Structure 1
């Protein structure tokens, strides 16, 4: 846009707000390098993002992030020129937060795919915080299995060490792997990060600033301290609840039918039982976590994607610099 809007709401807000149409225009001449078959591999369980959505929302976002990454790379080069030596490449880290079922994983995959097509940062890794959950045995030992996904269920110290190693330019950094089928950490598998240009970290509580666990002393270093840019995927709670229940029904017909699934017992539920079960889980766990821990971190993000019906982004808010 040629000029910043001067509405009263924008003037006294830390964010600049853009309608879908206004944001779409910021794509400029950014080419769309994703095809339908590429997009099909990036969809969530119940979220089908169209190419139009990619063009209107995610291409302008990738252009913005490319400019930010380029500026950071230039600053990095200037610093090392000043110091008179060549330093180790340090990845640009993007954090993506939001509720269960809001579509943040799909957003992360699309952003990864688009950013990897820019020539100045072709290597983009995606890591989810699921791998940093404590194993189920440890959650049971602590008596917090029912609070899985809440801040205290994560090994935050290990996550911070992972980010510190990545940000220090360590050649090889490993992250744990989580299985949604087993609903637990896979001890024999690791994600290996080898000095990529960009690391995207996606998770529920990545913008948290509270203590990592009630059993640990409060820390002065937070996960978000390592972010160069952060995104919060937002939607009204009633829509997120609807998406969660719809996803539960889909999983009941697919993944839950696998005898090895932790939730195999839900595969035989009737429709009435499935809706009651999904509603109870949503209200007792996911809605509680959203209201108490996730939603309060939204204002800390540098960019907020506000979704409406059909997972379509209706408004984008960008923090003023």
Structure 2
């Protein structure tokens, strides 16, 4: 181990051994299947080795944060208003962020004192397709300029300040667009998970960054060749499932193409859009995360890096 590295590094075995006394997993195989994303492989063993130690580690951080808030309020002779502990989860398209976020939400909610845990994705803060078309950036959907960052910052500020009700827009992957008039209401959760490719980015449209509101942040990492493969495999699965739905944005484009054309199309989309976004905007944010989870070709997490600085 490099003593002067900014990280404390763990292999899978070392990380799993942090969870010394856990004998039962608060999640069934059926529940795990419901939490998994399309083409995402996560086993109960993965939950035991990776996610349970992570959940308890976050619990430790959250407990310290709550105690600090209490002590600060006591010193200032003020009432300690409840504020959520906010966790950001970032990483590439198709790397498994959504599955990780849902797993953490489920496990944290079943922890000590059964905290209220909410999950919001930043997809809802994408500009509607009509706006992207008007701006001429529909082909850059997912890039920093395609998000309404001011609204996302406002949302984060309202949640962190303890506002009783805060509303977030909702995105439909089927329609490939923000759903007009549909909102998710967040009511003072104990823990809020924010998941999205842009959560750790530093390009500013406002004086604040999304990550300024985070108490803990996670980056899901993998070699690009693996992510590209997962993206193509997911595209092939979607061609046979969601794209067959006539309500799907992609129905007329991809529902009837053959497998070879599907692979070529997905590869081109990856090269022209996702790989470019990964290298320009997503991968450079990895070092800003508190914790990095490194996945291998089989989706398993084999290395964990905890930032010391």
1:50 aligned residue? 43
2:5 aligned residue? 13
Alpha-carbon offset, residue 121 of structure 1: 5.3
Alpha-carbon offset, residue 220 of structure 1: 2.3
1:196 aligned residue? 189
2:208 aligned residue? 221
**Which of 246, 258, 261 in structure 1 is aligned with 2:233?**
246
Alpha-carbon offset, residue 13 of structure 1: 1.1
Q: Measure, in 2, the Cα distance between the counterparts of 1:150 and 1:101.
A: 15
Alignment RMSD, CA only? Answer: 1.0
Alpha-carbon offset, residue 79 of structure 1: 1.4
Q: Deviations over 1:260-287 (max 9, x none)?
A: 1001020101111101100000000000
2:271 aligned residue? 283
Q: Deviations over 1:117-166 (max 9, x none)?
A: 11245100000000000000100111100000001100000000000000
**Which of 60, 65, 68 in structure 2 is aligned with 1:72?**
65
**Which of 61, 70, 93 in structure 1 is aligned with 2:54?**
61
Alpha-carbon offset, residue 176 of structure 1: 0.1
CA contact (8 A) 2:74 2:80 kept: no
Q: Measure, in 2, the Cα distance between the counterparts of 1:56 and 1:274.
A: 36
Answer yes or no: is 1:122 the counterpart of 2:115.
yes
Q: Measure, in 2, the Cα distance between the counterparts of 1:25 and 1:109.
A: 23
| TM-score of the aligned structures, taking structure 1 as reference length | 0.94
Q: Measure, in 2, the Cα distance between the counterparts of 1:28 and 1:198.
A: 25
**Which of 70, 73, 83 in structure 2 is aligned with 1:90?**
83
Q: Deviations over 1:56-86 (max 9, x none)?
A: 0000100100000000111111112222232
Answer yes or no: is 1:24 the counterpart of 2:23.
no
Answer yes or no: is 1:255 the counterpart of 2:248.
no
Answer yes or no: is 1:236 the counterpart of 2:223.
yes
Alpha-carbon offset, residue 199 of structure 1: 0.4
Answer yes or no: is 1:181 the counterpart of 2:174.
yes
CA contact (8 A) 1:15 1:319 kept: yes
**Which of 159, 165, 184 in structure 2 is aligned with 1:172?**
165
Answer yes or no: is 1:314 the counterpart of 2:299.
no
**Which of 286, 294, 299 in structure 1 is aligned with 2:287?**
299
**Which of 261, 264, 275 in structure 2 is aligned with 1:273?**
261
Q: Measure, in 2, the Cα distance between the counterparts of 1:64 and 1:121.
A: 16
Secondary structure at the aligned position of 2:35 is classed as coil
Instruction: Pick which of 263-272 and 243-252 moved more.
Output: 263-272
Answer yes or no: is 1:109 the counterpart of 2:96.
no
Secondary structure at the aligned position of 2:170 is classed as strand
Q: Measure, in 2, the Cα distance between the counterparts of 1:121 and 1:319.
A: 28
Secondary structure at the aligned position of 1:309 is classed as coil
